[in-house]
């Protein structure tokens, strides 16, 4: 019990310290990853004195945490936003990665004297943008939807190719495999991973919409377990688990799931725990006594990536899609690095390679320094380039809960600012025959609405609808929220919001 008390005390203290640290970091525009890494360093050998040098354990924990983070990223990403940018995001995460690897490898070879294998390895490690960093920073920036969606989709798609490339270069297969065999392996893993993700995602959607669980808290657990199931199943068949988990989360996150908002909130909380655990552990793994020797290589490799590799990869990848130069410039600067490069650096750290410890130190310092350089400047860069967008009105929030024995669903609706539901009479909603507004909550007081009830901003109300009319009811509510009671006259059908600049 004494040991258990110490573990719980230490774990809770670390979590609370990380939460406070991310609050401080967010006030200056830094992603939480920087705060968590610093907490890990403070707990390590140069601070509290906790010694941790098991790179293999860090790698396993890091991969598991990345799977959770990508699952949350898929669940919270809107398909209508990323659908128009699938092309540029896919090219950025494949062709763009290769261009960036080549540029960084050349700089590391000619400027730092790295051999070509080590140069390619460090180029592959640092060329992947980080989903956790991108999600945490960019979702607070008022960017044009196409731009933010491209960055988010790229960060979700580019982990699988880089994981495969780093694994091949760090393994014995490097001297034996041909470029064609490596390309075939990458293609198989990506295609098979995407297929697994689609299959598991749609199967999970079908299951959750047809099985009435005895407690509402079981739905969020199931929704996060399904993408992780895709990760494990794909990995067992040597497909890309990272792509599978993201695609499965994307499918589920864009389905009409029971208790959707509670599910997304739970997924976000689990992702935060995964980020804290992963970054703190990686901070513990770093040795401050070795970082001095890695500073110059980190600055050189980081500058090569930021000023040569990333801009060149963006230019080659998105120019065919006719993105304006201002958006290309922002894409080049906003390619944030974070946990992914540090976790990938643990792959060669457990391989029999000369200079493996130095590579980890270089990557760790690179992430710290260039996160400090890039993240706080993103709002200013967005304004200077003219790619910032004003805050847009939120769509109405509809929470669904199944009433299995009645073959009905309960919808909870909140009216946000600038919604055109405000001012509409209840009788003018014109919901399907199987739906009825049953309860209104206004200013903390509840009432049963009637023909004299008129909605206001901030109102919350409940709608009971038959299962067969649920989708039509949701579409009608969204349509009225966007275009008012004459939504059909204006051609508004209540579908998903299309992407626009």
Bridge partners of residue 464, in order along the sequence: 410, 436
Q: Which domain holds residue 341?
A: 32-385
Q: Are 143 and 379 in contact (CB under 8 A)?
A: no
Same domain, 159 and 226: yes
Q: Is residue 2 part of a domain?
A: no
At which of 333, 362, 385 does a domain end? 385
SS3 category, 239: coil
How many C-beta atoms lie closer than 10 Å to residue 443's C-beta?
Answer: 7
Contact criterion met (CB below 8 Å) for 274 and 68: yes
346 and 404 in a common domain: no
Can you give 103-148 as a three-state secondary structure string? HHHHHHHHHHCCCHHHHHHHHHHHCCCCHHHHHHHHCCCCECHHHH
- For residues 351 and 449, membership in a common domain is answered with no
Same domain, 377 and 477: no
Tokens in use for 110?
């000619």
Q: What stretch of H or E contains 464?
A: strand 460-466
Residues 85 and 134 in one domain: yes
Q: Is 247 among the domain residues?
A: yes
The H or E element spanning position 306 is none
One domain for residues 352 and 447: no
- In terms of phi and psi (left: phi > 0; alpha: psi -120 to 50; beta: otherwise), the region of 113 is left
Does a structural domain hold residue 23?
A: no
Q: What is the 3-state secondary structure (H, E, C) of 154-193?
A: HHHHCHHHHHHHHHHHHCHHHHCCCHHHHHHHHHHHHHHH
Dump pLDDT digits (tens) for 1-44.
778 888 888 888 888 887 887 777 666 666 667 778 888 888 88
pLDDT (tens digit per residue) in 351-391: 666 666 678 888 888 988 888 888 778 888 888 888 876 65
How many Å apart are CA 297 and CA 283, to the nearest integer? 19
> Which residue in 26, 284, 59, 40 sits closest to 137, CA to CA?
26
- One domain, residues 344 and 408: no
> Running DSSP on this structure, what letter comes out for residue 4?
H
428 DSSP assignment? G
Q: What per-residue confidence (pLDDT) applies to 501?
A: 42
Do residues 71 and 203 both lie within one domain? yes
Residue with structure tokens 């350089």?
373
How far apart CA 318 and CA 253 sit, in angstroms, is 27
**Is the CB of residue 388 less than 8 Å from the CB of residue 142?**
yes
| 317, 350, 385 - which closes a domain | 385
18 CA to centre of own chain: 19
Give the integer Cα–Cα distance in Å for 362 and 427: 65
**pLDDT per residue rounded down to tens, the chain (501 residues):** 778 888 888 888 888 887 887 777 666 666 667 778 888 888 887 777 788 878 888 888 888 998 998 898 888 888 887 888 889 988 998 899 999 999 999 999 999 888 888 888 999 888 888 766 676 666 666 777 788 888 888 887 887 788 888 888 887 667 666 777 777 877 888 889 999 999 999 999 988 887 777 777 888 899 999 999 999 999 898 888 888 999 999 999 888 777 777 888 888 889 888 888 888 888 888 877 777 888 899 999 999 999 999 999 999 999 999 888 998 999 899 887 777 888 888 888 776 666 666 788 888 889 888 888 887 788 888 888 888 766 544 556 666 666 656 678 888 899 988 888 999 999 888 899 889 999 999 988 899 998 889 999 989 999 999 888 888 898 889 888 888 888 777 777 766 554 444
Sheet arrangement for strand 408-414:
397-403, 408-414, 460-466, 435-442, 445-447
Q: Are residues 191 and 81 in the same domain?
A: yes
| Boundary residue ending a domain (333, 350, 385) | 385
Q: Is 7 contained in some domain? A: no
Residue 283: give its domain's CATH number: 1.20.1530.20
Tell me: do 363 and 453 sit in the same domain.
Answer: no
User: Could you tell me if 473 and 365 lie in one domain?
Assistant: no
Domain contains 322: yes
Helix (H) or strand (E) holding 463: strand 460-466
Q: Using the structure block, give the residue that is written with the tokens 């199943």.
A: 233
**CATH code of the domain containing 448:** 3.30.70.1450
Q: Is residue 3 part of a domain?
A: no
Instruction: Tell me the CA distances in angstroms from 23 to 72, 130, 139, 474, one per residue in order.
Output: 21, 20, 16, 36
Cα(400)–Cα(173) distance, integer angstroms:
51
Same domain (yes/no): 195, 259 = yes
> Which structure tokens are listed for 248?
């499965």
Domains in the chain, number:
2
**Phi, psi torsion values for 423, nearest 5 degrees:** 95, -10
| CA–CA separation, 162 and 345 (whole Å) | 11
Q: Taking the CA atoms of the chain, what radius of gyration do you get in angstroms? A: 24
């Amino acid at each position: 019990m004494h040991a258990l008390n110490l573990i719980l005390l230490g774990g809770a203290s670390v979590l609370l310290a990380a939460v406070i640290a991310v609050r401080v970091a967010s006030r200056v525009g830094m992603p939480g990853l920087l705060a968590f890494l610093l907490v890990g360093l403070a707990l390590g050998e140069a601070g509290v004195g906790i010694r941790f040098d098991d790179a293999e354990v860090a790698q396993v924990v890091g991969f598991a945490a990345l799977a959770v983070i990508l699952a949350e990223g898929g669940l919270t990403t809107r398909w209508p936003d990323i659908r128009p940018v699938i092309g540029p995001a896919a090219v950025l995460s494949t062709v763009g990665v290769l261009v960036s690897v080549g540029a960084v490898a050349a700089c590391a070879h000619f400027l730092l004297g790295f051999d070509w294998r080590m140069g390619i390895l460090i180029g592959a490690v640092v060329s992947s943008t980080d989903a956790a960093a991108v999600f945490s920073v960019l979702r607070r920036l008022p960017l044009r939807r196409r731009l933010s969606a491209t960055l988010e989709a790229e960060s979700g798609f580019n982990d699988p190719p880089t994981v495969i490339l780093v694994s091949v270069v760090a393994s014995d297969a490097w001297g034996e495999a041909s470029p064609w065999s490596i390309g075939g392996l990458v293609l198989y893993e990506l295609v098979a991973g995407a297929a697994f993700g689609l299959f598991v995602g749609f199967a999970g959607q079908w299951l959750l919409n047809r099985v009435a669980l005895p407690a509402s808290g079981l739905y969020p657990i199931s929704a996060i377990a399904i993408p992780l199931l895709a990760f494990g199943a794909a990995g067992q068949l040597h497909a890309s688990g990272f792509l599978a988990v993201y695609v499965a989360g994307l499918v589920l996150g864009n389905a009409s799931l029971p208790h959707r908002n509670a599910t997304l909130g739970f997924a976000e909380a689990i992702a935060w725990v995964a980020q804290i655990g992963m970054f703190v552990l990686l901070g513990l793994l770093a040795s401050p006594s070795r970082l001095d020797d890695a500073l110059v290589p980190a600055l050189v490799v980081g500058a090569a990536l930021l000023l040569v590799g990333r801009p060149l990869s963006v230019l080659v990848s998105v120019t065919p899609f006719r993105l304006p130069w201002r958006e290309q410039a922002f894409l080049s600067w906003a390619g944030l690095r974070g946990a992914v490069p540090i976790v990938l650096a643990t792959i060669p750290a457990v391989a029999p390679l000369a200079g493996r410890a130095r590579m980890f130190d270089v990557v760790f310092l690179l992430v710290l320094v260039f996160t400090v350089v890039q993240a706080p400047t993103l709002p200013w860069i967005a304004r200077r380039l003219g790619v910032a967008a004003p805050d847009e009105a939120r769509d109405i929030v509809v929470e669904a809960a199944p009433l299995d024995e009645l073959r009905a669903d309960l919808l909870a609706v909140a009216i946000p600012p600038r919604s055109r539901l405000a001012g509409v009479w209840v009788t003018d909603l014109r919901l399907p025959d199987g739906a009825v507004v049953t309860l209104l909550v206004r200013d903390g007081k509840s009432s049963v609405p009637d023909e004299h009830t008129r909605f206001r901003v901030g109102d919350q109300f409940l709608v009971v609808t038959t299962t067969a009319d649920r989708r039509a009811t949701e579409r009608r509510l969204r349509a009225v929220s966007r275009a008012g009671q004459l939504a059909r006259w204006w051609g508004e059908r209540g579908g998903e919001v299309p992407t626009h600049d």
